[in-house]
Structure 1
Amino acid sequence: MTTENSNTSAGQPEPIRCDNLLISFTSEFHRVWDSRGSGAAVGSFWRPAPAPDLLPGYFPLGDLAVTGYDNVNGNRIVAVVCEGETSNDGASQGKALSPPMDYERVWRDSNSGAAADCTVWRPLPPAGYVALGFVCSNGRDKPLLNAIRCVRKDLVIPASVGDLIWDDKGSGARQNFSAWNIDPPQAAAGEIYFAPGTFFAAQSHSRPETPIAYALRMQMPRQTLPAPVAPKLSGYGAPPEPEPAGVTQTVRIPWFAVSDHLLPEEQWRTSAFYRLERSDQYVLAGYGHNTSERPRPFKWRALRTQNSQMLQVFSILTSIEVATAWPPKPSNGARAIRFSAHLHKDFTYTETSSRGWEDARPLDIVAMAAKNKAVAIYQIQSFYTLKRADGTPVGISIGYTDDESLYLSEYPPETDSTLTFTPQLATEPFASQGPADNESEDVDTASQPMREEIRVTDSAP
C-alpha cells in the first residue's frame, strides 16, 4: 500500500492507496430521511456527498445511519472511494470499483406514520465485487446505480455486525427493520481493517446471525533504512561509546488509528498519516581485558530500556498498542472510523512473544575471554517515536532492548559473531540506573557456576 496525490485537489489530505483503489474521507452529507412522526426512536439516514471540486471522482460506499436528528455535517466522517491508476507492475486484478448491477429492497416504512416515505436497499454487486453498505431512498423508487460504488473483493475482508444504531420499534410499519454498525475483525500483523462508516440493514429487530458484511483492508506502509553497523574492538583499551541511535524503520499509520485529541475532520486534515519511527543503536553491555595467561570469564549485569508503565502511558496518549492489535475490542460508542490495526511483529520484536515488553528485569551476561584477549558485548536498543505529518512528536517515546541477539567483539580479532541465546534474568536487586554495568566482575569458576544457558566462550588454551 502506498499513498499518492495525483487524484487529490490542492490542499486536500493525501488519500490511502490500496492497489488501484484510492480512499479518502468526507464530512459532508445530504439528509435522506428521518423518523419524525413514526413513533419510533429518533434516527436518520444521510448520504455522503464529497465535494466535486475537492474530491473529484469520489463516491460513497453506502449511506450513514445515526441515532438522532441533529445535522451531522462536520461532526461525522466517512470513507469515500475513487478509481486510481493501475500500478506499474500490472499486478492489479481489474478495476477497483464498479457500480451495483441492481438493488434489492430490504425495508419499506409502510404504515409507520413518518412524515416522509423511506425505503432501504441492498446493492447487488457484479461478480468479483462486494457491497460495503446499504442505500436509503426518501420515496419508493430505487436509488440511482451511480449513487455508490462496490469494491473488488480482494480489497476487502469479511466483517461482523457491531452494536445497534436504530430500529423502527414503535413505528407500526408492516415490516420490522434495524440498522447496525459494522465491526472489522482483528487485524493480522502489518495490516489495518476498517469499516467505511456504512451500516448493515436487517429485516428484524434482532441482531443478524449470519450477516454478509465487509470492511476495507490495507497494509501499513513501511520504510526500512540501513541498520547500524556493529562496533568492533580496535585495541585493548575500553571501547568508545557507539554511534547514537538512527532511524532504521518507519511505519505509516492512517489518522483514524491514532488518538491526537482533535475532532476527526481536524485530525484528518492536520495529519492524514502519522509516522511511527524506530531508531536503533548498539550499546555496550560489558567490556573486559584478560591480561593473564589462562582463559577467564567476565560477568556483567545489563539493564533493559523497556518500562511497562511508560508503555501504558504511550498507549493511552496515542491509542497505539505496540505488542498487540488495537483497539483491543470493538467500541460500543460512536467512533470516527471503526478499525483494527496491528504493527509488524519484526518491527516490535514480537515474532515469538509480546512478554518482552513487560519484563524490565536486568540480565546477567557471562563471556569467556581467552588469554591476552579483550572482549566486549553489545546489545541493540530501539526507541519508538510517533510523529505527525509535520514532524512534531505525539505523546512520549518508548524504548526496547533486544535481548535475543548479543554481539561479541574481541581483540585481537579472530571471530566476530552475532550470538542468539536465552538470557539469564537477574534475581538479585541491582542499584545501577544506567543501561549496563560495564565494570567486569571476575568469576571464580571453581566455586560459582555460570548461570547462563549459553555463554560466550573461546576455546583457545
Structure 2
Amino acid sequence: MTIYDNAQVSDWQREPIRVDNLLINFTTEFLSIWDTYGSNAEPASFWRPTPAADVLPGYFPLGDVVHPGRDNINNKKVVAVVCEASTPAADPEKGKALSAPTDFELVWKDSGSGATKNGSVWRPLPPEGYVALGSVCSNSHEKPSRNAVRCVRADLVSASATCDLIWNDKGSGARQSISTWSAAPPVAASGEMHLAPGTFAGVSGYALPANFLVYSLRLHLAVRVNPKPTAPVLLGVTPEPLHAPEQPTYTARLPWFAVKDPLFTPLEQRDHSPFYQLERTDHYVLVGHGHNSGQDSTTFRWSAQRAQRTRGQWAFSTLTSIEFGVQWGAQTLSPFLFSARLSHELTQCEMPNNEWLDTSAIDVVAVVDSHKAVAVYLIQSDYSLVRADGTPVTTTFSYTDGRSLHISQYTPGAPASTVAVAPEARVPEVTDIPATDNDSATPLAETALEEVTDTAP
C-alpha cells in the first residue's frame, strides 16, 4: 500500500512517498563523476545523485545518471532517491526494503578512448531477493564503494523488457564498447503506478542482451473512502432540501510528477505542490416528486439529465494529463517516465457498466397509488483536482450514475418508505468508438426505469 508520511506544510518538499517500509523522495543535486571530454564519442557526462544530508538524511541513489552532454545538470534534472523507513515492513518476514550490493561487476572502462580522465561503469550485484535499478560510474578503473547505491527488495519493483537508448561510446576508440539505457515502465493495472527511477543501465556492446530486464518502482494509488451519502427519506408531501456533503466520498493522492499543472513547471511543482488530491464527492440529486391526492392511481414522468459531458472530461485530461479508465504517462516536459491508472472504484469506468460516454437523458416513470407522495433521486459524483494547499487546478466536472436510482414514498399518516429500484435497460444503439490504450470504450444504452407502486398501507 502506498501512503504519504505526514509533514508540516513548510516541509512539503521533504515529504516522502511510502511503499511498505520504503521511502521515496527526489533530489536535483548531483556530483560530477566522469565525462567524455577528450574522446571522439558523442559528448556525455555521468553524475551521482547526492541528496543533501540536512534535507534528506539517510537517502541513497538507486544508480547513477548519464546525461547526453557535458553541461551541468544540477537543479535541471530530478531523480528518485530512497531511504529505509524507521518502521518495519507490514510482513516482518520480508525484511528490509533496501540493501547494499554484495559486489560490483565491470561493464566497461574507457581504456583507449582518449578521454582526459579515467572512467568505468559497474553493475551492482544485489543480494538474493533484491534487484539493482541502475548502474554506477567510477572516476577510476576501480570498483565504487558499496555505499554508492542501494538495491531494492524485489516485491517493491516491477520488471520491464522495454528500454530507451541514452548514449553509447561509438567513435570513442576505447578497447571495450558500451551502451546506456533508461527503463521504460510496464503497463499499469487499475490502481497502480510504475515509476522509472531516472538512472541508467550500462550494457557491454551496442545491443541489448536477450531477456534483459530493467526495473521501475511500484506504487499503489491508494484511495481513501469516506461514508457514502445517506439516501434521502420523504417525510412529507414535498421533499426537504438536500444538504451538501461535508467531505469527499473518495480521495486519491497523486504525486506531483503524475499531474500537469498549468501554473507550474514540473520542478516548480515539486516545491509548490508535491502532491495533488483527486476528489470525488457523491451526493443525491432530486429527479422529481409528485403527490397523488386523487382516489385512483396516477402516473408521474420525469426526465433526468446526466451530468457527464464528453468535452468536460476531455478538457480535464488535456489540462492535467490524468486519464479516466485508461493508462496515462509522462508528458513532454515530465522529469520521469511513469505509467499510472486510477482505480475503477474511483473513476466508475469499469466495463461493461461505463456510462461516461452516455449523455442521454434518463426517463423515469412511476405509478403512484392514491393519497401517496413519491420522490425520485439519482447519485451525482462531482470530481475536482486540488493542490496541496487546497486550491483547485481545474473546474469541477460531474457524472450521473444511471444505476443509482432511489425512490422514497410517503403516505400521510403513515411512516415513510423507501424503495431502491434497478433500471430496466433498453436495447442499445451502439456506436463504435476507438479503443484507447489497452481498454475498449463502448457507450452504455439509455435506460428506462420500471414502473413502481407502493404496497405500504
Alpha carbons of structure 1 residues 307 and 207: separation in structure 2 relative to 1, 3 Å: farther
Greater Cα shift, 112-121 or 92-101: 112-121
Residue 197 of structure 1, CA deviation: 0.9
CA distance in 1, matches of 2:24, 2:114: 38
Alpha carbons of structure 1 residues 95 and 158: separation in structure 2 relative to 1, 3 Å: same
**Which residue number in structure 2 is paired with residue 319 of structure 1?**
321
CA distance in 1, matches of 2:291, 2:425: 22
**Which residue number in structure 1 is paired with residue 306 of structure 2?**
304
**Which residue number in structure 1 is paired with residue 441 of structure 2?**
none
**Which residue number in structure 2 is paired with residue 22 of structure 1?**
23
SS in 1 for 2:307: coil
Contact 1:403 1:423 in 2 (8 A): no
Alpha carbons of structure 1 residues 97 and 38: separation in structure 2 relative to 1, 3 Å: same
Alpha carbons of structure 1 residues 209 and 30: separation in structure 2 relative to 1, 3 Å: same
1:256-298 CA distance string (max 9 Å, x none): 1011243333211211211111111100112222334443432
**Which residue number in structure 2 is paired with residue 43 of structure 1?**
44
Residue 251 of structure 1, CA deviation: 1.1
**Which residue number in structure 1 is paired with residue 395 of structure 2?**
396
**Which residue number in structure 1 is paired with residue 197 of structure 2?**
196
CA distance in 2, matches of 1:137, 1:388: 41
**Which residue number in structure 2 is paired with residue 288 of structure 1?**
290
SS in 2 for 1:394: coil
Residue 61 of structure 1, CA deviation: 0.3
1:85-139 CA distance string (max 9 Å, x none): 2259655621111000011111222322222222111111001111111111122
Q: How does 1:312-461 map to 2 (within 5 A)?
A: 312-327=314-329, 335-353=334-352, 355-412=354-411, 415-424=417-426, 455-458=450-453, 460=455
Amino acid at match of 1:138: N
Contact 1:43 1:65 in 2 (8 A): yes
Greater Cα shift, 357-366 or 63-72: 357-366
Q: Which structure 2 segments of 5+ residues have no match?
A: 430-445
CA distance in 2, matches of 1:161, 1:140: 30
Residue 383 of structure 1, CA deviation: 0.9
Contact 2:4 2:15 in 1 (8 A): yes
Contact 2:68 2:167 in 1 (8 A): yes
Question: Identity over aligned residues, as a percent?
Answer: 47
Contact 2:187 2:327 in 1 (8 A): yes
1:292-344 CA distance string (max 9 Å, x none): 444343221111111111111111221111222212xx66x673121111112
CA distance in 1, matches of 2:30, 2:353: 43
**Which residue number in structure 2 is paired with residue 105 of structure 1?**
106
Alpha carbons of structure 1 residues 349 and 16: separation in structure 2 relative to 1, 3 Å: same
Amino acid at match of 1:457: V
Residue 245 of structure 1, CA deviation: 4.1
SS in 2 for 1:269: helix
- Tell me the TM-score normalized by structure 1: 0.87
Contact 2:366 2:451 in 1 (8 A): yes
**1:272 partnered with 2:274:** yes
1:360-387 CA distance string (max 9 Å, x none): 2212222232333222211111111111
**Which residue number in structure 2 is paired with residue 242 of structure 1?**
242
SS in 2 for 1:358: coil
CA distance in 1, matches of 2:170, 2:357: 48
Contact 1:364 1:423 in 2 (8 A): no
Contact 2:102 2:127 in 1 (8 A): yes
Amino acid at match of 2:113: S
Contact 2:348 2:354 in 1 (8 A): no
SS in 2 for 1:154: helix
1:49-86 CA distance string (max 9 Å, x none): 11111111100000111211111000000010111122
**Which residue number in structure 2 is paired with residue 167 of structure 1?**
168
Cα RMSD over matched residues? 2.6
- Tell me the TM-score normalized by structure 2: 0.88
CA distance in 2, matches of 1:348, 1:202: 41
Greater Cα shift, 98-107 or 264-273: 264-273
**Which residue number in structure 2 is paired with residue 3 of structure 1?**
4
Alpha carbons of structure 1 residues 97 and 89: separation in structure 2 relative to 1, 3 Å: closer
Contact 1:243 1:282 in 2 (8 A): no
CA distance in 2, matches of 1:8, 1:383: 27
SS in 1 for 2:72: coil
CA distance in 1, matches of 2:90, 2:25: 24
Alpha carbons of structure 1 residues 31 and 334: separation in structure 2 relative to 1, 3 Å: farther
Contact 2:362 2:448 in 1 (8 A): no
Amino acid at match of 2:299: P
